[in-house]
Amino acid sequence: MINRLRQKFDAKWMAIAAAVGILVLFVVLPMLYLIWRSVFIDGAFNFATYKQVYAQSANWKAFANTFYISLVVTFVSIAISFPLAWLVGRTDLPGKGFFRTTFIASYMIPPYVGAIAWTQLLNPSVGYLNEWLVSVFKLSKAPFDIYGMGGLIWCLTLFYSPFAFITISRALEKMDPSLEEASRVAGASPLVTLWRVTLPLMFPSIIAGGVLVFIGVGSAFGIPAIIGMPAQIEVLTTRIVTYVYLGTGKGIRDATALAVSLMIAANFVLYASTWLLTRKDYVTISGKSTRPNLVELRGWKWPLTFLVSLYGFVAIFLPLASIAVTSLIKSLSRPISLDNLTIDAWLAALKNDQYMTPLWTSFVTGAAAATVATAIAVFIAYLLVKTRMRGRTIPDGLATLGGATPSIVIALALIITFSGEFGLNLYNTFGILIVAYMVKYLTMAVRTIAASLSQVHSSLEEAALNSGATWLQSLRDIMLPLIGPSIVAGWFLVFMPSFYELTMSIILYGSQTKTIGVLLYELQTYADPQDASVLAVIILIIILVGNIILRKVSKGAIGI
């Protein structure tokens, strides 16, 4: 008996220790080393790097731009998402189920694909939408130019506001509808109820959604690089990449200082919001779940349906259509018509090794990252949910830290840490890509698996141990089958964003390890919109298939 107990604990401890060890090596060490490198020069504490970096007005400007753009996009996103979430969740808006799925699904579109699409739509000389507007309204010149502050904010809002929409509409679904009904019987109209009960109760999730948007936009690279850089609008991420591309020691040092600034700003916002939210912790006893009483829109019904449809059309349909049409068009200078479409570009692209190799690289590195991350996530989630061990929340905290850290910061930290400094040289290897994806997206798998594990009562596992199984046997025979679907879901939640990752890949890839995101970015900057579009459609199809599998496996509970 004693022997068996020891065996059980040994296996458990070793598995968990290994998971924690990997996190310390790949999350804690690189981050600390990044900070250390930014303030120690030749072993002496020195703020010179920061002084030097912020002495340049371009860097100051980038910092200010990042802050300004993030703030504006956050406010616009909330202003769009809350009404949308309310219309879709609480009113008799026709087709709201479809709208809801569509808005959530737009989260699947990689932001840089969105940026490519909008450069096609609102390019001042040949943008489809511009041309259409010119011909319909008989304008003398294109009404919009995507390359500018307005275009940048527009595109970021479209592709980052789903963070706010998802957070807000989930919270709205979880809210006990009788809280609103109580206000109605108390004599308040639907609008008064919305203002005095729903909105204040949603405040914490509005803040949480806003923080996601703020940090997401502040760490974004794809859209600012594709839309902002041609317009000479720089943000922190684009500055960092530029410095890294200089390839000099000084360039890396300057990038490091900027990255630490970004990391501190992101963490400050995160902790400030957490602090604000814990002070407004609303716990409600929930009764039987009744269907929420739907607010009748009456005369507003069709005008609002039109507005929501228009938003869906512009935010999601137009960019996707633009990419698809561009991938098929024969001559970009002629108008869109059936006889101007061809699949030649597709055939050429599919036979082109320069395109297919990166696609395969992304597939393999994404799958490897997902597999390693899922395996580690099982142990972290087990430690978090099923044990009472002291410090059980630390690994989960580290995974969350990785997820909350801006991608560019992770990438830079990995470069400086694993270029041989600590005996491990991953520079220009598949390994560094896999590690980067794992660090960034591990938390997705941990969250999913932990949620599923908490549904499995510990008595099920205890019954297995009682029946004489070792811990590993009970894990294999009882726990894993029960949480199986969430493990598959967790795998896809890591795989998909890794597959189309751009921000980290752009500074971590080597000549042999170019990823599909990087390739697409290059094609866009070297002005080959058609091949870029073909690859973008391929990426979208793979994401769509992955998401369908994910929904099937999780029975609709989880989608990316």
Partner 1 sequence: MAEIILQSVSKHFGEVKAVDNFVATVGDGEFVSILGPSGCGKTTMLRMVAGFEKPTAGEIYIGDRLVSSPAKGIFVPPEKRSIGMVFQSYAVWPHMSVFDNVGYPLKIKGLPKTEIADRTNTALDLVHLNGLAQRLPSQLSGGQQQRVALARALVAEPDLLLLDEPLSNLDAKLRESMRFEIKELQKKLGVTVIYVTHDQAEAMAMSDRIVVMNAGVIQQIGNPVDVYETPANKTIADFIGLVNFLTAEAGEGGVAVPALGRTVPAPSGLTGKAVAAVRPEQIALAAPGTGIAGTVIHKSYLGDAVDWRIEVGGETVRVIAPAAAFREIGAGQNIGLVVDKIMIFPA
The DSSP line for 320-373 is: HHHHHHHHHBS-TTSPP-GGGB-SHHHHHHHH-HHHHHHHHHHHHHHHHHHHHH
- Residue 280 as a binder of partner 1 (CB under 8 A): the answer is yes
- Using CB under 8 A as the binding criterion, the count of chain residues that bind partner 1 stands at 29
- Residue 172 as a binder of partner 1 (CB under 8 A): the answer is no
- Which residue from 368, 365, 377 is spatially nearest to 403, judged by alpha carbons? 377
Binder among 104, 188, 231, 320 for partner 1 (CB under 8 A): 188
- Which residue from 345, 446, 346 is spatially nearest to 399, judged by alpha carbons? 446
- Residue 330 as a binder of partner 1 (CB under 8 A): the answer is no
Task: Provide the 10 A C-beta neighbour count for residue 295.
Answer: 20
- Residue 282 as a binder of partner 1 (CB under 8 A): the answer is yes
Give the tokens for residue 344: 């030649």
Binder among 138, 279, 288, 351 for partner 1 (CB under 8 A): 288
The DSSP line for 122-182 is: H-TTT-HHHHHHHHHHT-SS-S--SSSHHHHHHHHHHHHHHHHHHHHHHHHHHS-HHHHHH
Q: What is the dihedral of CA 32, 35, 36, 40, to 10 degrees?
A: 180
| Positive or negative torsion for Cα 342, 347, 352, 356 | positive
Of 51-59, 283-291, 381-389, 478-486, the window that binds partner 1 (rule: CB under 8 A) is 283-291
- Residue 287 as a binder of partner 1 (CB under 8 A): the answer is yes
- Min dist CB 123 to partner 1, Å, is 48
Among residues 92 and 421, whose Cβ is nearest to partner 1? 92
- Residue 249 as a binder of partner 1 (CB under 8 A): the answer is no
Among residues 288 and 390, whose Cβ is nearest to partner 1? 288
The H-or-E segment that residue 89 falls in is: helix 57-90
Among residues 51 and 174, whose Cβ is nearest to partner 1? 174
Give the tokens for residue 469: 């199984």
- Residue 173 as a binder of partner 1 (CB under 8 A): the answer is no
The 200-239 site mask, x for binding partner 1 (CB under 8 A), equals: xx-x------------------------------------
Among residues 44 and 191, whose Cβ is nearest to partner 1? 191
Of 29-37, 246-254, 288-296, 474-482, the window that binds partner 1 (rule: CB under 8 A) is 288-296
- Residue 285 as a binder of partner 1 (CB under 8 A): the answer is yes
- Residue 192 as a binder of partner 1 (CB under 8 A): the answer is yes
Identify each DSSP E strand in 198-309 by its residue range. none
- Residue 348 as a binder of partner 1 (CB under 8 A): the answer is no
- Residue 540 as a binder of partner 1 (CB under 8 A): the answer is no
Q: Rounded to the nearest 5°, which phi and psi values hold at 475?
A: -60, -45
The CA distance from 16 to 39, in Å, is 33
- Residue 185 as a binder of partner 1 (CB under 8 A): the answer is yes
Give the tokens for residue 53: 């970096």
CB 485 within 8 A of CB 554: yes
Of 22-30, 56-64, 279-287, 399-407, the window that binds partner 1 (rule: CB under 8 A) is 279-287
Binder among 145, 176, 477, 528 for partner 1 (CB under 8 A): 176
- Min dist CB 191 to partner 1, Å, is 11
Of 31-39, 171-179, 344-352, 522-530, the window that binds partner 1 (rule: CB under 8 A) is 171-179
- Residue 191 as a binder of partner 1 (CB under 8 A): the answer is no
Among residues 188 and 336, whose Cβ is nearest to partner 1? 188
> Buried b vs exposed e over 416-449: b needs ≥16 C-beta within 10 Å?
bbbeeeeeeebebebbbbbbbbbbbbbbbbbbbb
Binder among 65, 183, 326, 524 for partner 1 (CB under 8 A): 183
Of 78-86, 183-191, 309-317, 379-387, the window that binds partner 1 (rule: CB under 8 A) is 183-191
Of 154-162, 182-190, 332-340, 342-350, the window that binds partner 1 (rule: CB under 8 A) is 182-190
The H-or-E segment that residue 40 falls in is: strand 40-41
The CA distance from 95 to 246, in Å, is 52
Binder among 77, 178, 326, 448 for partner 1 (CB under 8 A): 178
- Residue 293 as a binder of partner 1 (CB under 8 A): the answer is yes
Give the tokens for residue 105: 């699904």
Q: List Cβ neighbours of 432 (8 Å cut-off, separation of 6 or more).
A: 414, 415, 418, 426, 508
Q: Residues 398 to 427: which contact partner 1 by CB under 8 A?
A: none
- Min dist CB 281 to partner 1, Å, is 7
The two beta strands, 44-45 and 40-41, are antiparallel
Task: Report the interface residues with partner 1, using CB under 8 A.
Answer: 176, 178-179, 181-189, 192, 196-197, 200-201, 203, 280-288, 290, 293
